[in-house]
Structure 1
Amino acid sequence: MLTTQTVLPKLAVLLQDPTVHYWEKKALLTAQTSLKNQVNSKIVLERLEVELRPLALRNNLTANMADFYLQLTGNPAGQMEFNYDIHYQKDPPFQERAIFSGGCFWCLVEPFDRRTGVKAVISGYIGGTAPHPSYEQVSHDHTGYVEAVEIIYDSRLIKYQDILQTYWQLIDPTDASGQFDDRGDHYRPVIFYTDQHQLQLAEADKHRMEQSNHYKAPIVVGIEAATKFWPAENYHQNFYQKFKARYRRLERTRKQVLLFQHLRGRLRALFKGPHK
């Protein structure tokens, strides 16, 4: 439960946050002033919740504000803090990283997270040049960044080839303009390699896909050298655990399209055979 003592530091941080919109800050500033003037905190926070509710219901709050709104309304998801330490720490022996993009990063986390040997899956942004990108900036499609996942794994328990195989099963490799319902350049599918070994395996896999006759259209998945990966805001981490109903709806749509696509691909390969 938020009180004057616990909420004032949160308001101060959000008011200094460059990703928080002006109209969100206006509501926060009003609440901050009232609390400092010792207005009853229950009344102040209820007013703030009412003011933010229309944006929250339309999923139009900025990421850090959305996290705060979850806390404001007592939603358990608001208490789920992602531990980013493993991203910033130096990799010990046998720990490696794989980075992929392919539509909204919300739908790419769970399939990798459940693989034996995977230690962490982090949603984030890669491919652009501006520092500290936010979800709002990337979603406007003018930054060069894509939504991606960084998979940190123990190479003794799972190989890069296995992770690649999972990736191909999650995307439409013929769609360079996005994935499924996710449209825009920041949703394009890309394999970001971290070393020459990953590059060789990715290129071999892509060539094998091209020769399989599984798809009628060309394989357009990019293979690019990994640049700096910026972890996304806490709100976007482990989305499948926080917002199970919403995630399942998104996942269902993706699975339906992929099921039809894979069935059609198997039929094409059966009747036409692989390229010689």
Structure 2
Amino acid sequence: MKLSQENTMTEIYNLILNSKTRDWERSLLLEAKDAIETGANYNETIAKLEAALRPLASRNNLTPDVTDFYQKLIGEYQSELEYDSSKHQVTDPRYQSRAVFAGGCFWCMVEPFEERPGIISVLSGYTGGELENPSYDQVLVGNTGHVEAVEIIFDTRIVQYQELIDLYWQITDPTDDFGQFQDRGTQYRPIIFVQDEEQRQIAEAAKQKIIDSGYYKKPIVTEIRWASAFWPAENYHQEFYKKQPKRYKAIKRSRQQFLTYQHLKGNLRKAFTKNN
């Protein structure tokens, strides 16, 4: 998908007004907008803008919405992968419910849940903090109180909350309270956000079962907290495993290697304890 001139200008206007756009990004966009509006050659101006954004785009260091815009400029944006937020809602409270889990970078928390039968939608976002509608940059700094998390809408006739809890413990490190795997910082700490008393009891029982098992040498630090406002992350982060498969697979591989080693140690510890 490559932008027309009209759509390009609309995107530039919107990004200039977007509070999540960094100041230096905004200055480049303003420069391009002003140049075109005062008669500069459109193609030359956009080529100059693309060149100015390219170094940081190549290092994945643009803000998410500007990243989407840059990919549209160079014709690499996959519009069919734009997240449809309208599907992320409970349409039948009798048979649908929500679950919210934080377990490190939300890029790696979507696929394991999304591919399970009975999952309606998985949304990446930010929760647990006080700031309203935080940006990725603000959460990344680590002083807003938010964590990266996923909000899951699921069909209770097909999959139960207990099954989601069981999967959560399998794909996270419950002994690390300052991040998960290669992701360091308070915004990556593991937390289960419960929606009601039933979820709280299930989560607490599962946590106690793990503590009692002796599977882990270190203390279990995963928090269980009441759910608070959940703010959707920018489109770039939604279903990242589909948009950036090579990058995602590299991160997933590293995460799985750690978990495999950790689970091996846990199994050996349990076997040793049982035999003694």
Instruction: Normalising by structure 1, report the TM-score.
Output: 0.96
Alignment match, 2:31: 30
Alignment match, 1:147: 148
- Answering whether residue 254 of structure 2 is matched by residue 253 of structure 1, we say yes
- The aligned length equals 275
Q: For the residues of structure 2 that align with 1:125 and 1:25, how far apart are their CA atoms? A: 24
> Secondary structure of 1:273's partner?
helix
Alignment match, 2:86: 85
Q: For the residues of structure 1 that align with 2:89 and 2:96, how far apart are their CA atoms? A: 13
Alignment match, 1:220: 221
- Comparing 194-203 with 24-33, greater Cα deviation is found at 24-33
Q: For the residues of structure 2 that align with 1:115 and 1:39, how far apart are their CA atoms? A: 52
Q: How does 1:1-276 map to 2 (within 5 A)?
A: 1-77=2-78, 80-87=81-88, 91-273=92-274
Q: Is the 8 A contact 2:88 2:120 kept in 1?
A: no
Q: Is the 8 A contact 1:4 1:35 kept in 2?
A: no
Equivalent AA in structure 1 for residue 228 of structure 2: T
Unaligned stretches of 5+ residues in structure 2 = none
Equivalent AA in structure 1 for residue 179 of structure 2: G
CA distance 1:5–1:38, shift in 2 (3 Å)? farther
Q: For the residues of structure 2 that align with 1:114 and 1:133, how far apart are their CA atoms? A: 28
Distance apart, 1:35 and its partner CA? 2.4
Equivalent AA in structure 2 for residue 139 of structure 1: L
Q: For the residues of structure 1 that align with 2:27 and 2:52, how far apart are their CA atoms? A: 10
> Secondary structure of 2:124's partner?
strand
CA distance 1:79–1:70, shift in 2 (3 Å)? farther
Q: For the residues of structure 2 that align with 1:157 and 1:5, how far apart are their CA atoms? A: 46
Q: For the residues of structure 2 that align with 1:96 and 1:158, how far apart are their CA atoms? A: 10
- Comparing 197-206 with 28-37, greater Cα deviation is found at 28-37
> Secondary structure of 2:109's partner?
helix
Equivalent AA in structure 1 for residue 100 of structure 2: I
Distance apart, 1:185 and its partner CA? 0.5
Q: For the residues of structure 1 that align with 2:90 and 2:116, how far apart are their CA atoms? A: 22
Q: Percent identity?
A: 46
Distance apart, 1:146 and its partner CA? 0.3
Instruction: Normalising by structure 2, report the TM-score.
Output: 0.96
Unaligned stretches of 5+ residues in structure 1 = none
Cα distance per residue 1:185-244 (max 9 Å; x no partner) = 010000000000000000000000001111011111000000011110101000000000
Q: For the residues of structure 2 that align with 1:253 and 1:163, how far apart are their CA atoms? A: 22
Aligned-pair RMSD on alpha carbons? 1.6
Equivalent AA in structure 2 for residue 250 of structure 1: I
Q: For the residues of structure 1 that align with 2:50 and 2:91, how far apart are their CA atoms? A: 41
Q: For the residues of structure 1 that align with 2:230 and 2:86, how far apart are their CA atoms? A: 14
Cα distance per residue 1:98-148 (max 9 Å; x no partner) = 000011000000000000000110000010011111110001000000000
